[in-house]
Amino acid sequence: MSVASATPVDVIQRPDAPYDLTDEQSEEWWAVVNRMPADWFPRETHSMLAQYCRHVVAARRVSQLIGNAEGSDPFDVEAYDRLLKMQEREGRALSSLATRMRLSQQTTYDKSKKKPSAAKRPWEA
């Protein structure tokens, strides 16, 4: 009988949140980083992920402002329109960054898996 020798295990550390992020942005960083495999974010993507976290927090703030504007009296249509444009801009930025870092459903969807065809079955003829 022989004993198998143990091989060293490589431990991959998850990237630490940059120090220039706020607490709320850091929470978003860790929520994303902990959701993906440990080696998902190589060093060259850290600035993109940091910017994604900033946009998430900014989008949250704009959403709160929109809620306040919707409940205000009198209703300021111009301010509301400005906030909606800000929300749309944040959404586009988030979508673009999420796609580039392969965080969105679109980038993880396997197009090679086709849905079953709706062709008639032989016994339905």
Residue range 45-63: mean pLDDT, rounded: 97
**pTM score over 0.75:** yes
> What is the per-residue pLDDT for 18?
96
> What is the per-residue pLDDT for 118?
61
The domain ranges of the chain are 41-103
C-alpha gyration radius of the chain: 23
Binned at pLDDT 50, 70 and 90, residue 70 comes out as very high
Q: Which of 30, 31, 33, 39 is nearest to 12 (CA)?
A: 39
> What is the per-residue pLDDT for 66?
97
Helix axes 23-35, 46-70, angle to 10 degrees: 120
CA 41 from centroid of its chain's CA atoms: 13
